[in-house]
């Protein structure tokens, strides 16, 4: 059969993998990421370069001599839960095309997190402060030039959200004629401009509560977007306000330009971006203070973790993979201190949507799959790699989002079914309720707590992966304490135990099977195996999170009663189902299912993320059989978007497939910046493609056996050369 590999050779690789110390750089050597450089200007915003820090992301490019910057910050959610851009800056020097043509150079300095632009006698530096929500742009030239700075906004009036562009918000296809993206407020004075967007009290949150039949508990639910305020303050030195001009257009979107002009040799532009999440923000640093401390932060970031090839390595694929990993990790570092996570569908670095799809001539606020909406199966891939790289600040941003959503998920569960636990759905809003369009509207006699969606119904277990991330980080790092996530973990485990006993009692006289195990039905193997009976992905999740929770409680000396509770819960978790294919034992997607809806492979989830099967673990042959002979696993195999076959190949010690699939994921995207990956199943830049590539590369270099011992370079091809790495 095509795509098969030699099982015996994989088993040998599994048993021969060496257990040695991590391959860190030799003593006295430091890792310094190389600059990323362009020597020509860009055609449009799809040719932009990322820049950021703290919780701010910017797209920076030079077009026809103009320096353009899209401003983004985590948390700019409007009334419709669209993740708004903060606006666009344009910096223009007289004779711009000529001034920027001679000796043009645009550099992303990974070492200090800045973008530098040079042309003729002009030097421009752009960066975001890593401690406070401030942006600095410095301009220097050898001679005095006439310079114009423009703040450009397309939210200059209320704009109706249509069914064509409604994917940008939480209404999606249930959008109605009363849904608008509301205008910003902009005030300009001599050396200062303020722009803000304050949400009305009634938002898509209220619509969701009503549509999902939760009006009776509305007063108990937390609303993070009603009355929310986002604000920007721009200040200049010598440039002064000269007026505004309307009717301008970039790509397909009209905008109004607020202009500041002056003749200068040096100028510093400062922008402060804040949201309701920030509360009282400390005073802004000076330009010199910010530049110094931000550079120091980035330098420490690169020493925290790295993957770097030895100078003797000359494999082009390996060089591309390691460089791409570096660029992806840079973009994640730009939101290390955010109040909301990096979104899988573009994060802070989306650009004009018509350059992603030419049939999407919408505003720069547009992205598919929503702004405040999270697809959990996609979002988890953006954050699993942060543990191995020790990027715990990034991880906390994501975990804190679940913690904020927890009260509503618990109250929703109690309102619908009358039992305990937290039901987190797959398409979930940043306020913890299902997306109103994806959820559907309950019909008479139906279960109001179940999403009426062929892909999403009964899919609740992804939240357990975020619980596992918290437990893994607590176990590995003294600096990380999962105490603040204890309630989240216990409520997620409790939901499955109580809900499926509740469901069994509704169907019959007993709440468990004859062995005292819960029956997970109806369940779901990802979005793929629907109306499933005991799906292996859910069972593996309950087993591993339950076991790690028990270990955590014992480590923290939590007391006999709490440990007894989890032991009882674990005793009710059924066994992972298996089946025979071509006479070989394989992991089954479930004991039974009604239909196959999507193209995922949940039967491989017991390998990763759950680590029940794999190198240095029991019965790896069953996992290898599943990879090699399961026709669905073979059919679904791909490196596209959120596909994670590269990770499973690495976890099984399959060097050739891990290298092929990971390098395909890391291959340059269609846009000028190579780590701006195409939309795949979602949107560009595709951060869940980047995340799954990063996880796969980490697994190629470092894994652990059942007892926790290191397995070094289990899937790193010898032809890729010598590599140094610092992973946890």
> Within a 10 A sphere around the Cβ of 491, how many other Cβ atoms?
21
Look at residue 699 and tell me whether its pLDDT is greater than 70: yes
> Within a 10 A sphere around the Cβ of 263, how many other Cβ atoms?
11
* Residue whose C-alpha is closest to residue 364's, from 724, 44, 25, 695: 44
Q: Let me know: does 615 contact 17? Beta carbons within 8 Å.
A: yes
Domain ranges of the chain: 36-298, 383-526+535-573
Q: Let me know: does 241 contact 260? Beta carbons within 8 Å.
A: yes
Separation of alpha carbons 631 and 625, rounded Å: 11
Separation of alpha carbons 445 and 556, rounded Å: 46
HSE (side-chain half, CA atoms, 13 Å) at 723 = 28
522 preceded by a cis bond (ω within 30 of 0): yes
Would you state the pLDDT for residue 12? 39
Q: Which pLDDT band holds residue 22 (cuts at 50, 70, 90)?
A: low
Separation of alpha carbons 706 and 159, rounded Å: 56
β-strand pairing of 306-309 with 373-375: unpaired
In the chain, what percentage of residues exceed pLDDT 90?
Answer: 92
Look at residue 430 and tell me whether its pLDDT is greater than 90: yes
* Residue whose C-alpha is closest to residue 342's, from 393, 294, 298, 268: 393
Would you state the pLDDT for residue 26? 81
Would you state the pLDDT for residue 18? 32
pLDDT tens-place string over residues 133-160: 999 999 999 889 999 999 999 999 999 9
SS3 648: helix
Would you state the pLDDT for residue 98? 76
pLDDT tens-place string over residues 235-267: 999 999 999 999 999 999 999 999 999 999 999
pLDDT tens-place string over residues 491-538: 999 999 999 999 999 999 999 999 999 999 999 999 999 999 999 999
Q: Would you call 578 exposed, middle or buried from its count of C-beta atoms within 10 A (0-12, 13-18, 19+)? A: middle
Q: Which pLDDT band holds residue 70 (cuts at 50, 70, 90)?
A: very high
459's tokens:
């899919």
pLDDT tens-place string over residues 384-410: 999 999 999 999 999 999 999 999 999
Query: What CATH number has the domain spanning 36-298?
Result: 2.70.98
pLDDT (average), residues 27-36: 88
Asked which of 30-34, 441-445, 459-463, 657-661 is least confident by mean pLDDT, the reply is: 441-445
Would you state the pLDDT for residue 30? 80
Separation of alpha carbons 571 and 659, rounded Å: 39
In the chain, what percentage of residues exceed pLDDT 70?
Answer: 97
């Amino acid at each position: 059969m095509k795509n098969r590999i030699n099982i015996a050779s994989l088993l040998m690789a599994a048993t021969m993998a060496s257990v040695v110390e991590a391959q860190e750089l030799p003593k006295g050597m430091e890792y310094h990421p190389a600059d990323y450089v362009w020597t020509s200007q860009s055609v449009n915003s799809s040719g932009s370069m990322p820049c950021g820090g703290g919780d701010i992301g910017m797209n920076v490019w030079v077009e026809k001599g103009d320096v353009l910057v899209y401003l983004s910050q985590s948390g700019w959610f409007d009334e419709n839960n669209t993740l708004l851009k903060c606006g666009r800056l344009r910096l223009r020097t007289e004779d711009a095309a000529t001034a920027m043509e001679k000796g043009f150079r645009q550099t992303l300095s990974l070492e200090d997190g800045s973008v530098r632009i040079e042309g003729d006698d002009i030097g421009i530096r752009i960066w975001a402060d890593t401690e406070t929500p401030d942006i600095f742009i410095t301009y220097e030239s050898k001679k005095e030039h006439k310079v114009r700075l423009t703040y450009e906004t397309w939210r200059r009036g209320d704009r109706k959200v249509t069914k064509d562009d409604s994917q940008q918000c939480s209404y999606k296809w249930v959008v109605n004629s009363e849904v608008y993206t509301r205008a910003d407020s902009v005030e300009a004075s001599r050396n200062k401009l303020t722009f803000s967007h304050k949400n009305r009290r009634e938002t898509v949150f209220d619509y969701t509560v009503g549509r999902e039949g939760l009006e009776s508990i509305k007063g108990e639910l937390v609303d993070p977007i009603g009355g929310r305020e986002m604000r920007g303050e721009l200040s200049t030195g010598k440039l002064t306000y000269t007026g505004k001009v309307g009717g301008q257009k970039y790509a397909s979107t009209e905008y109004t330009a607020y202009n500041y002009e002056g003749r200068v040799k040096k100028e510093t532009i400062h922008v402060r971006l804040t949201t309701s999440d920030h509360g009282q923000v400390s005073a802004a640093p000076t330009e010199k203070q910010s530049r110094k401390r931000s550079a120091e932060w980035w330098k420490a970031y690169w020493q925290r973790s790295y993957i770097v090839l030895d100078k003797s390595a000359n494999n082009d694929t390996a060089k591309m993979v390691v460089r791409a990993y570096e660029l992806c990790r840079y973009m994640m570092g730009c939101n290390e201190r955010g109040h909301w996570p990096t979104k899988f569908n573009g994060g802070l670095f989306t650009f004009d949507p018509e350059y992603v799809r030419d049939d999407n001539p919408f505003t720069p606020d547009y992205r598919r799959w929503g702004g405040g909406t999270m697809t959990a199966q996609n979002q988890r891939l953006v954050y699993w790699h942060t543990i191995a790289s020790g990027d715990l600040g990034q991880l906390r941003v994501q975990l804190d989002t679940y913690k904020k959503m927890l009260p509503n998920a618990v109250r929703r569960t109690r309102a619908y079914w009358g039992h305990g636990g937290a039901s987190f759905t797959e398409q979930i809003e940043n306020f913890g309720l299902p997306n109103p369009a994806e959820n559907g509207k309950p019909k008479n006699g139906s279960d109001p707590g179940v999403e009426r969606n062929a892909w999403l119904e009964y899919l609740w277990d992804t939240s357990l992966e975020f619980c596992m991330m918290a437990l893994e980080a607590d176990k590995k790092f003294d600096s990380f304490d999962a105490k603040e996530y204890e309630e989240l973990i216990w409520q997620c485990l409790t939901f499955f135990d109580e809900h499926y006993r509740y469901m069994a009692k509704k169907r019959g006289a007993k709440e468990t099977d004859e062995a005292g195990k819960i029956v997970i039905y109806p369940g779901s193997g990802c979005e793929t195996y629907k109306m499933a009976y005991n799906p292996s992905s859910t069972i593996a999740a309950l087993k591993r999170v339950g076991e790690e929770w028990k270990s955590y409680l014992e480590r923290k000396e939590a007391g006999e009663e709490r440990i007894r509770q989890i032991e009882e819960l674990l005793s009710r978790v059924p066994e992972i189902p298996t089946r025979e294919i071509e006479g070989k034992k394989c992991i089954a997607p479930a004991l039974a299912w009604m239909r196959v809806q999507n193209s995922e492979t949940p039967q491989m989830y017991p390998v990763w993320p759950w680590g029940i099967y794999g190198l240095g673990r029991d019965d790896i042959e069953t996992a290898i059989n599943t990879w090699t002979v399961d026709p669905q696993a073979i059919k679904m195999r791909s490196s596209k978007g959120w596909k994670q076959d590269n990770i499973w190949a690495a976890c099984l010690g399959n060097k050739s497939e891990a290298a092929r699939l990971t390098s395909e994921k890391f291959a340059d995207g269609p846009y000028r910046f190579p780590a701006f990956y195409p939309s795949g199943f979602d949107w560009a830049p595709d951060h869940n493609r980047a995340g799954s590539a990063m996880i796969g590369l980490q697994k190629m270099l470092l894994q652990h056996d059942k007892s926790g011992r290191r397995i070094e370079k289990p899937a790193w091809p010898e032809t890729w050369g010598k590599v140094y790495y610092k992973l946890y």
